[in-house]
Amino acid sequence: MLQPTARSVIGTPEFMAPELYEEEYNELADIYSFGMCMLEMVTFEYPYSECKNPAQIYKKVTSAIKLAAFKKVSDPQIKELIEKCLVPASGRLSAMVLLKDSFLQVENLKDPICDPLKFSQVWLTGMKNDDNSVSLTLRIADAFGQVRNIHFIFYLDSDTAVSVAGEMVEQLELVDHDVAFISKFIDDLIMKLLPGWKPSSDYSSSGTVSLYGESPKLGDGKTLTGCPWDSLLANLPGLAFESSRRFNNS
């Protein structure tokens, strides 16, 4: 839904939509500016560099005269996308529609856009609180030394590793296939802390598998060390969420 029109003009003339000069515009003016930014990135040329003063720019913009740099765009697909951004406001598409343009779609992406973090480690430490609960801390360290600690309580009479891992994945915005990895981590440590305890988790029915096909490694009896967990670490930068009853992040 388009916002009501505004009635003030502040901006850089080379990137301003025609309707801005008429002081009757909405967010579609930003689409025009986006098109100009794309044009500059593609051509490495500042828009309307052929003009000597703002008056000449104004005349071209208000007369719908294409700027010289547009002729330098050789790729027909991106040229079409830029044209869609620079048409008069009455025919200009919204951001939601433009995002569906074929040029912005990712197809057959075989390699990751960026290399995953390497040499990261995951630890799970725990301590028995009472006969019904265990305090656990999931500690994650990446190759750059950034460490995150996630604290939570596991209730033996009501929780399962799969349910807790599922909540963690949802609240921390991780990827679904990390559920089995966390579940195995939790179960292995609790069995180490409480030898008589038997897990009720069913990894085979969860539809997920350990990310690296490995089991957590037993440490000193209170700590488990995991293999690199790149899918989780990819979500750590800027991680922000409200602590719930179960999870606390530090």
Give the pLDDT means over successive 10-residue stretches in the chain (250 positions): 50 85 88 93 89 87 84 91 93 92 75 48 82 83 69 88 82 64 84 82 43 41 44 35 43
User: Which DSSP letter does residue 203 get?
Assistant: T
Q: What is the CATH number of domain 13-104?
A: 1.10.510.10
**pLDDT value of position 93:** 94
Q: Strand order of the sheet with strand 248-249?
A: 217-218, 223-226, 121-128, 133-141, 147-155, 248-249
Backbone angles phi, psi at 97, to 5 degrees: -75, -40
The token pair that represents 53 in the structure block: 């003063």
Distance CA 239, CA 236 (A): 5
Q: Which residues contact 44 (CB under 8 A, 6 or more apart)?
A: none
**pLDDT value of position 110:** 58
Domain boundaries, the chain: 13-104, 121-249
Nearest to 149 by CA among 245, 239, 209: 239
pTM of the model: 0.43
Long-range contacts from 16-19, C-beta under 8 angstroms, 24+ separation: 16/61, 17/61, 17/89, 18/61, 18/62, 18/64, 18/88, 18/89, 19/89
**pLDDT value of position 118:** 43
**pLDDT value of position 54:** 85
Distance CA 148, CA 146 (A): 7
The token pair that represents 129 in the structure block: 């609180």
**pLDDT value of position 108:** 61
**Residue 186 identity (one-letter amino acid):** I
